[in-house]
Amino acid sequence: MRIKRIGIKTKHSRGSEEALSQEILFQASQLKRHAAGIYGFGNFLIRARNKIVDIIRKNLEDFGCAEVSLPILQPKNLWKESGRWDIYSDNKQMFYFSGRNGEYCLAPTGEEIVLDFARDNIVSYKDLPINIFQIGNKYRDEIRVRGGILRSKEFLMKDGYSFHSSFEDMVLEYENMKKCYFKIFKDLEMDVVSVKALNSDMGGKVSEEFMCFSEIGEDKILINEDKTLALNEEILQDEKALEMLKQTNKDLDINKLKVVNCLELGHIFQLGQFYSEKMNGFFVDETGKKKAYYMGCYGIGVNRVLGAICENNCDEEGLVWPKAVAPYSSVIIYSKENEKSAANLYSSLKEKGVDVVLYDKEATFGSKIKDSKLLGFLYIIILGNKYLEDGLYEIEDRVNSNKMFLNEEELIRFLRS
RNA sequence: CGGGGUGUAGCUCAGUUUGGCUAGAGCACUUGGUUUGGGACCAAGGGGCCGCAGGUUCGAGUCCUGUCACCCCGACCA
């Protein structure tokens, strides 16, 4: 891509956003606040998010989940069935309004609509189990938005749902999804821990959150030395949940756990029959009897994952994207005398399948380098005086923070490795 | 929703305390020239309903009332 085509105007001043990464995204002109909690994404940011989505999708499919797409605009009657219309509209978390034929909401979450989907497709125990997911926007009129895309009113979420004929089968799938989630975060090059959490408005009894450590995280978790046991601080306020935890972990000593700030990236739930009983989610079992199916629910906040990746991979100079999600691997910057050589290199790299950006905006060398660092390229390919002298490309490797000089063949081999 | 704060140029902000000439700076932008290896320099230029509405006053960015928007702190959440 030629940078002039993208429409990036980087800013030299920084505002006062609490998270450095968010500030850098504004400065890099990758994030635009259109209103409180409502953001537009630039080319780099959306490319990174698309890569995250691809990784999530591939792993889910590997673990036996099938993608669907359910509406975000949803009718009130569905929400009346589950009893959550009043909960979500009372606490104003849901955007709802009147249309031509009744009332609607923009979905804050998807249990109701997926149940409506399931009622059509699950009739017999022979139809179970199934596991479906979707990746789409969710809308929540947050009481307070925070930290740029870390908590916004419109956000991309992957939400998945599984349906089972027995409690035991639901638990099996829950464990399967837990494995899947760890694999996803591993592929995203992120360190996460799973922590015991409360189910609150979601229903059901058992749930775990996937957290990454972060100074700016809104959640506090308690975790032991070897990271084998962790729980959300909120559990301490809930006697029942705490009691349950103590039963399954006999040697639990709350006082020995360390408190750490975290960002919640994902949450998986054993919902049981909470929704199916309320919403006519029945199947016929082996004996011909009607029975409500057991459900599991599995969410990942894609935008928040994106935000967390930025936060964990930036410094004062800018971002350095992890390889797995980098919007572009490299950028070519050049002095005037090398314009033609740079254009030639750009074409041949593209031909070889390297995702490279040609920095074809007029600017001084200094600002080209500053921009390149701000935007988070992994490798900055420089055609300057040294190229004129000996025809070697200078590569600034932001991943390992070193410099090297390569000819074209070596460069291509390096970038494709 | 409670508490605190901010709205002035595309961006970051001075100016408001104590009302007074034609509203400022830096960055960005346009034109010309000199530059060209870590956010260059010189010159000229464009750009403002001072959030919005009303009021006080000879006179309001500045004072008063209302209103809207946004930010920060608390409960909520992926």
- Number of domains composing chain A: 2
SS3 call for A24: helix
Are residues A302 and A170 both part of a single domain? yes
Quote the CA–CA distance of A404 and A19 in Å, as a whole number: 33
Domain membership of residue A154 as a residue range: 20-314
pLDDT of A168 reads 96
Closest CA to A373 of A345, A396, A402, A348: A396
Q: Is the Cβ atom of A146 within 7 Å of strand B at any atom?
A: yes
Q: Are residues A356 and A297 both part of a single domain?
A: no
Same domain for A272 and A134? yes
Q: Which nucleotide is nearest to A362 (CA to C1')?
A: B36
Question: Could you give the CA distance from residue A212 to residue A185 in angstroms, rounded to a whole number?
Answer: 10
A374 touches strand B (CB under 7 A): yes
A36 touches strand B (CB under 7 A): yes
Within residues 307-336 of protein chain A, the ones with CB less than 7 A from nucleic strand B are 335-336
What's the pLDDT band for A90 if we cut at 50, 70, 90?
Answer: confident
Domain boundary among A285, A314, A343: A314
Residue A290: give its domain's CATH number. Answer: 3.30.930.10
Angle at alpha carbon of residue A339, lines to A338 and A341, rounded to 5°: 65
Residues A339 and A309 in one domain: no
In a domain, A2, yes or no: no
Q: Is residue A3 part of a domain?
A: no
- Taking the C-alpha atoms of residue A38 and residue A106, their distance in angstroms, rounded to an integer, is 14
CA of A370 to C1' of B66 (A): 47
**How far does the CA of A219 sit from the C1' of B4, in Å?**
23
Q: Which nucleotides of B are covered by protein (CB under 7 A)?
A: 1-2, 10-13, 26-28, 35-40, 69-78
Q: What is the pLDDT of residues A216-255, one digit of tens each?
A: 888 999 999 888 889 998 888 888 888 888 888 887 888 8
Interface ipTM > 0.95? no
A14 falls in which pLDDT band (50, 70, 90)?
confident
> Over the stretch A53-84, which tens digit does the pLDDT of each residue have?
999 999 999 999 999 999 999 999 999 999 89
Q: Are residues A164 and A254 in the same domain?
A: yes
Distances (CA, A) of A205 to A208, A244, A359: 10, 10, 53
Same domain as A203, residue A146: yes
Mean pLDDT of chain A: 93
Which nucleotide shows the minimum CA-to-C1' distance to residue A388? B37
Residue A381: give its domain's CATH number. 3.40.50.800
